[in-house]
Structure 1
Amino acid sequence: MAKAMRTTPLGGTRQLRRWHRARILQAIRAEAGISRLRLARKLDLSPSVVTEAVAELLAEGLLVEKPLPPTGQGRPSVALDLEGECHGVLAWEIDLDRMAVALLNLRGEVRARAVLPPAPDSLSAALEQLQAATAPHLSGVRVLAAGLSIPGLLEPAQGHLTLAPNLGWADLPLLERFRAALEALGLNKTLAVVENEANAAAYGLYALGSLALEHCVYLSLGVGVGSGVVVKRSVYHGARFHAGEVGHISLDPQGPPCRCGKRGCAEAFLSLRRWQEAPTLARLGEMAERLAQLSAVVLATLDPERVVLGGPLVEATGEALLRLIQAKLPRYALSVHAPEQVALSPLGREAALLGVGALAADFFMEQMAYEEVS
């Protein structure tokens, strides 16, 4: 989704100024309290360019400033930071066990949040409930962009939901319906993005998680097994937007039947429902064995820095499951891969919600940097 913003855009002076503004926002997002002089050095820009761009961002309300402590003679420097109360992004999550709404600032800090019951039978009903939960939090807030995460196969650029099997939804213009829901809230020109929930969670690990990962795979373990892949700080979707469907890798051809029609898929062994049916040490050990198998396949295939585990199953089993996986991993993984490469998500159950918010924030800055202006 987000670009590194190192490539100078084609276009005239106005386009270049927007690119400078976006790079400055991105730099301040990474380093709060930075001075104008340090910004100029960090971005290799002239002080005059930084001063002009910062003035525009201050006038627009996207930045705030405060004096830095004096360091000696001369005028004290001024620290710049993102405005965090009145400008932000909206994140919506639709999932099997809950829906959720959050308003976040550009740094990813939650300013308002509501958790709703599981998704209803139709997309229309789900969007109406999310609208109702959002409306009370919009007073005095400028929403710069909005993101929606959902567990299903979709084409993010076109916004078409091909299939959400666990929700029972298929062939829906998700982005179009999302935009209509935003317009009903008065957010008529708000930038909007939709993303698979595991992809959103994986992106959140890079953008917001303390792991600082540029290459990672997130395994979402709940009703089924989903996966999100981040490569060089961007979500990898694959040639047909189906990358990360690791839940249907067969771990045992003679294993239990899977709803996809095959036998022994990872999803047939690893689900919250299966754990709830028999929450015993024996079942925990079996699940750890299968997850060690699956993690080894992912490590050998994609060579991520980490395989990060999240979702309701992980919330229910936590460190106990992780310790068993790490102990069993050497049985299946190549010698170059270490047990510590499998880890728990630091974002917990909020990974997809926060991740799609981070995607929306980066989408806003990307559009500022590269959208053509007349």
Structure 2
Amino acid sequence: MVAELLTEGLVRERPLPPRGQGRPSVALEVEGKRHLALAWEIDVDRMAVALMNLRGEVRARVALPPAPPRLEEALAQLQEATAPHLKGVRVLAAGLSVPGLLEPASGHLTLAPNLGWFDLPLLERFREALAGLGLEGIPAVVENEANAAAYGLYALGGLGAEGEDPLILEHCVYLSLGVGVGAGVVVGHKVYHGARFHAGEVGHIPLEPEGPPCRCGKRGCAEAFLSYRRWLEAPSEARLAEMAERLAQLLAVVLATLDPGRVVLGGPLVEATGEALLQAVRARLPRYALAVHTPEQVVLSPLGREAALLGTGALALDFFVETSYEEA
């Protein structure tokens, strides 16, 4: 295995200082400049490109304006932003994340309501865009943005406290609070998709049967109370307190149902309110949650706005390793 990795240039040897008699020792280190994963993010408020090495380090990053009306236009813009960064590198795999319901295995996008997209062969279109960059045939994966962010936080985010059992982070939830409300769930090192690939739609958990209407057609859904748009309508201490109360209700359901080691808060609403929202939620959580769950389990995303983009890159790298080396 090491010989194959050396031949492909994915790892390299580095001599160690001599220690006594005998053959000098050689260290192996991951190559970090030429062999990269490509990550594309499409979202309502922006698009982005990143090239990431096998250590999880970003070698290039480009932020773009919000997604245009058509998928083909979005992919063309991502192609154009990526092309200048491909000289002299080998792209091992590529990933694309979108805020929508999709089937990762087939790559079919069922619905991305906030983008206005539905019933699209997303993975097929993604592969065509990669081929246009000369990347035909590389491993490619598509994923929901909250799932990608959850995986990125698990794999790259450093969520564990010093001395904490690392097994606790095999189960974590990322709660995305933006135009919509969604969640990504990692269970036992893997993204959990559910029987129909729609796990994590926590924004449509009803919190108040007679509450405000939700775009899904029901009333009082979590999303109706916790959207970023609602915060922008009346940013104030009173609105923050009200949202913290509703978020504590939602978190109690998530904690009781999934028992994660961490629930990580991210998205535009969290970026706007930050520590104030976190402390208000933690103060209210004991009123709703079981005693076994503590307020300290709820944290802010250490990756900020980059969680989905970095998670997409991490998923692409894992897919490369799985498809290239697992059977070996």
Letter in 2 for 1:82: V
Residue 221 of structure 1 deviates from its aligned partner by 0.6
**Residues 155-192 of structure 1, C-alpha deviations (whole Å, 9 max, x = no match):** 00000000000000000000000000000000011110
Distance in 2 (CA, whole Å) between partners of 1:211 and 1:321 is: 19
What is the CA distance between 1:371 and its match in structure 2? 5.7
Equivalent residue number for residue 361 of structure 1 = 317
- Aligned AA (1:333): A
Q: Which residue matches 1:123? A: 71
Residue 68 of structure 1: CA displacement?
A: 2.5
Partner of 1:335: 291
Partner letter of residue 148 of structure 2? A
Pick closer, same or farther for the CA change 1:294–1:61 going to 2, 3 Å. Answer: same
Gaps of 5+ in 2: 161-168
The separation in 1 between residues aligned to 2:131 and 2:67, in whole angstroms, is 21
**What TM-score results when the alignment is normalised by the length of structure 1?**
0.84
Q: Which amino acid in structure 2 is aligned with residue 244 of structure 1? A: G
Picking from 282, 298, 302, the partner of 1:326 is 282
Range 92-101 or range 72-81, more displaced: 72-81
Q: Which of 12, 19, 38 in structure 2 is aligned with 1:90?
A: 38
Instruction: Report the AA paired with residue 84 of structure 2.
Output: P
Q: State the partner residue of 2:164.
A: none
Match in the other structure for 1:17:
none
Show the counterpart of 1:191.
139
Distance 1:148 1:339 in 2: 33
1:303 is matched with which residue?
259
Per the alignment, residue 62 of structure 2 pairs with 114
Which amino acid is the alignment partner of residue 69 of structure 2? D
Secondary structure of residue in 2 paired with 1:193: strand
Offset at residue 59 of structure 1 (A): 1.9
CA distance in 2, matches of 1:150, 1:159: 11
**In 2, distance between residues paired with 1:326 and 1:310?**
15
Uncovered stretches (5+) of structure 1, i.e. residues with no partner: 1-52
Taking the TM superposition and a 5 Å limit, the aligned residue runs for 1:195-234 are: 195-212=143-160, 213-234=169-190
Matched positions, count:
320
**The residue matched to 1:188 in structure 2 has which SS?**
coil
Q: Structure 2 length normalisation: TM-score?
A: 0.95
Q: Secondary structure at the match of 1:145?
A: strand
What is the 5 A alignment of 1:134-213?
134-212=82-160, 213=169
Structure 2 counterpart of 1:335, which letter?
Answer: A
Distance in 1 separating the partners of 2:251 and 2:158: 21
What is the Cα deviation at residue 368 of structure 1? Answer: 1.3
Q: CA RMSD in A?
A: 1.2
1:69: Cα distance to partner? 3.6
Secondary structure of 2:170's match?
coil
Percent same amino acid among aligned pairs?
A: 80
1:238 paired with 2:186, answer no
1:312 maps to: 268
Structure possessing the higher radius of gyration over alpha carbons: 1
State the 1:71 CA deviation.
4.2
Q: 1:149 & 1:137 partners in 2: Cα distance?
A: 20
Q: 2:13 & 2:267 partners in 1: Cα distance? A: 39
Q: Within 2, Cα distance between the matches of 1:265 and 1:258?
A: 6
2-structure distance, mates of 1:371, 1:179: 24
Structure 1 stretches of 4+ moved >3 Å: 69-76
